[in-house]
Structures are given as C-alpha cells and as structure tokens.
C-alpha cells in the first residue's frame, strides 16, 4: 500500500510570492491534515479537510488556504509569502480520525 505522498520536496520562493503544495493521502483515507513545522519546533496545526470540506483551521492568517478534491487529495496555498513561512509543511491522512500517517513533507524556504 502506497503511503502519503507530497510534492514538491523542496521549494524556494521570495517574499510576496505565492506557493501551492500538494498531498495525496493513503487510498481510502478521507481526512487530510496540514501542519507547519518550523526548524526545531513542534507541529502547528494548519487545516483539516474531510470529504471535500474544510472542517477546521488553526491559528494562521487567511493567506493560508487550501482545498480537497473529490479523490481526497489536497492542496495548501500560501499567498504573500513572508520570511517566517519558511518551514517544513507536513500533510497527514487518517481514516476515522485515529492514527495519522504523515507524508515526507515539503521544505519551503522563503528568501
């Protein structure tokens, strides 16, 4: 069974630009969660999607947004990038909301 996949692996952007990150969950998982992990820090909850709907969002500004597609894959969009957005962005998928299976992450660097 394939695990959670994310693309791209690495990304370098400049301040003010926009970025889109992608996540494919494990087959059959309907929930996708997005987290931000700044260097050396913990997992900060960004967004939760389930069955195509945004179910909850963390304490992040509206320039962080996303969506979930009918095949349950998901995108995270970040507009007007700031230096402090530099981080590892992890997505995780879950079935019935228990164990979360994480993807390898996308390392975003904002210059």
Partner 1 sequence: GENVEQHPSTLSVQEGDSAVIKCTYSDSASNYFPWYKQELGKRPQLIIDIRSNVGEKKDQRIAVTLNKTAKHFSLHITETQPEDSAVYFCAAQLGRESTFGDGTTLTVKP
99 touches partner 1 by CB under 8 A: yes
CA–centroid distance for 99 within its chain = 17
Structure-block tokens of residue 11: 């990304």
Q: Which is nearer to partner 1, 45 or 60 (CB)?
A: 45
> Is the alpha carbon torsion for 51, 55, 57, 62 positive or negative?
positive
Instruction: Check binding of 25 to partner 1 (CB under 8 A).
Output: no
What whole-number distance in Å separates Cα of residue 60 and Cα of residue 70? 25
Decide if residue 26 touches partner 1 (CB under 8 A): no
What residues line the site for partner 1 (CB under 8 A)? 31, 33, 35, 41-43, 45, 48, 50, 55-56, 90, 94, 96-105
């Amino acid at each position: 069974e394939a695990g959670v996949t994310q693309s791209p692996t690495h990304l370098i952007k400049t301040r003010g630009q926009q970025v889109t990150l992608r996540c494919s969950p494990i087959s059959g998982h309907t929930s996708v969660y997005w987290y931000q992990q700044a260097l050396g820090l913990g997992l900060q909850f960004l967004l939760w999607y389930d069955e195509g709907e945004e179910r909850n969002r963390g304490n992040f500004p509206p320039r962080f947004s996303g969506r979930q597609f009918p095949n349950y894959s998901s995108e995270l969009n970040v507009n007007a990038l700031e230096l402090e957005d530099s981080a590892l962005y992890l997505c995780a998928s879950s079935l019935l909301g228990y164990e979360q299976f994480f993807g390898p992450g996308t390392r975003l660097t904002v210059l």
